[in-house]
A and B are shown apart, each in its own frame.
Chain A
């Protein structure tokens, strides 16, 4: 393989390497700009990831759904969750669907973590809130004490980005500072 050819291939590779994180940034920003806001009620704990650092793991209140019929939802299956807002302003599951819902519906894709009789428990792809090292644990203590809060999630065409976690109307990042 001569040098020019090798360099040409390398430039292609470099572009692909940039494209991948670049697309992650673009997709996330698209959701942040265009998405509809939902408040998800939460309960957190504090683990760590070897590469991405410390985060607050979020446990959402709206994860269970009573399926109307004994529909054969499978474990680990990816489903579209149709969302609506309840009387208190928190996100609530309206329904589940295997096919892509209509454009005007607000929906997000999630994984079925388990099924018991008609009850489907879901796992959302936005259950990690990354925080500065040292603050995650402090945040968790604050959260345990108050034991009430919600996650601000932007939802756009099935994609979701977690924007912030709020406790008593204040950002968890500020509270843990």
Chain B
């Protein structure tokens, strides 16, 4: 873009549209801008280069070379790690502030830590669970984001921590990611916060805004122990909190793309409510057969803790006069109410959830049309359609009636969007 403008300057001066002084100012502006922004293409190549080389080394190692002696293999195990460390050390001493070096060396070193541990356990036939391997790998690469000021190291760390926690919590019996995963999160948060403050509009920050909430939502389920039913409540509070956090980030970093938080904060509660719009879902919850009362379980503490955080953040944001008004923020409260009603009258809760979903659908459609937002309009329409589809599964409605209802909704979708586009154009 800047090249086109710069090449057009002589023509513009000749045509008398701008003065030579203005042309000089334009040239100076672009030169200054070029100095400050790193070469994005070079940075992207460096990142992919380091990722591919690192992963390639892991694959070559996984081949397991029988021709080499144990000694040779052991030396090879340390080689990528030492090379990675030398390059990273050089970067700190000589290339400080050079993003290309920082990111590439951090990625390479992170991957070579894993390669080195893998190779040693392969040489000596050490078993070790996958989760403990991932744990040490993640832990040993944690300081890199701070020491090398690398956003890719931070992203890899968030992914690694989530992989570790999911592996330990969901797939390996007798293991738990608690409290290590949460300590990892605490350790990585300062970098994430600094990054969002420093470069809110950058791709790195936006990738974090996507990866962080998704990894939290995935891992949170591993906290379920003796009272899985209570996890639904806790999850609802987590969704609410993530939605608010997204708005909080937006309030001091308006250029951020917080779609990850929005997705968790909107689709999460809608999905849960859809699930609980079935009468049978409430029946599957069980509180009575457990020797430990549910309010003593760790799940209930999570629910309480997250709810307190959620309410506190909401009040604080309101005092800061940040724009937080959204009916989605009432959902955790409504859901908790239905949840406790269901302990006595599950049918009442089912009806209330259905009415709530219907209300959300209608309000969102109206909001979308008032704000001229096609996305909001379609979220509302999708809510209504989802509710309709769900009811088809458990209500005995005639096929013809179902067909007609689907046609009505389909035509509604079409007309709604068509009307909105027309309105926007005029």
* Chain A positions near chain B (C-beta within 8 angstroms): 1, 3, 6-7, 9-11, 13-14, 16-18, 20-22, 24-25, 28, 49-55, 75-76, 125-133, 135, 161-162, 173, 177
Contacts and interface: CB of A to CB of B under 8 A. Distances in A.
B174 A24 contact: no
Contact of B117 (A16, A24, A127, A173): A24
B320 interface: no
A25 B124 contact: yes
Interface in B83-117: 85, 88-89, 92-93, 96, 113-114, 116-117
Contact of B58 (A51, A135, A161): A51
Contacts of A162: 125
Contacts of A75: 173-174
Interface string B308-340: 000000000000000000000000000000000
Contact of B85 (A14, A20, A127): A14
A133 B89 CA distance: 34
A52 B122 contact: yes
Nearest to A165: B125
Interface stretch (B28-36, B61-69, B183-191, B374-382): B61-69
Contacts of B116: 17, 21
The interface residues of chain B, by DSSP majority, are classed as helix
A21 B62 contact: no
Interface stretch (B6-14, B73-81, B408-416): B73-81
Contact of A76 (B61, B81, B126, B173): B173
Contacts of A21: 77-78, 81, 116-117, 119-120
Given A17-B81, A28-B124, A10 B96 contact: no
Nearest to A22: B78
A28 B122 CA distance: 12
B124 A76 contact: no
Contacts of B64: 53-54, 130-133
Q: Which 8 A-B pairs have the closest CB atoms?
A: A76-B174, A53-B62, A28-B124, A162-B125, A132-B66, A14-B85, A130-B122, A21-B120
Nearest to B94: A3
Nearest to A14: B85
A21 B148 CA distance: 22
Contact of A11 (B89, B136, B174): B89
B280 interface: no
A133 to B, nearest CB: 5
A17 B77 CA distance: 12
Given A6-B147, A49-B130, A51-B62, A129 B81 contact: no
A125 B96 CA distance: 44
B143 interface: yes
A50 B58 CA distance: 10
Contacts of A161: 124-126
11 contacts: A1-B146, A13-B140, A13-B144, A18-B82, A51-B133, A75-B173, A125-B126, A128-B127, A132-B64, A135-B66, A161-B124
Nearest to B134: A51
B356 to A, nearest CB: 42
Given A25-B74, A161-B125, A7 B66 contact: no
A20 B125 contact: no
B164 to A, nearest CB: 13
B93 A7 contact: yes
A131 B125 CA distance: 9
Contacts of B93: 3, 7
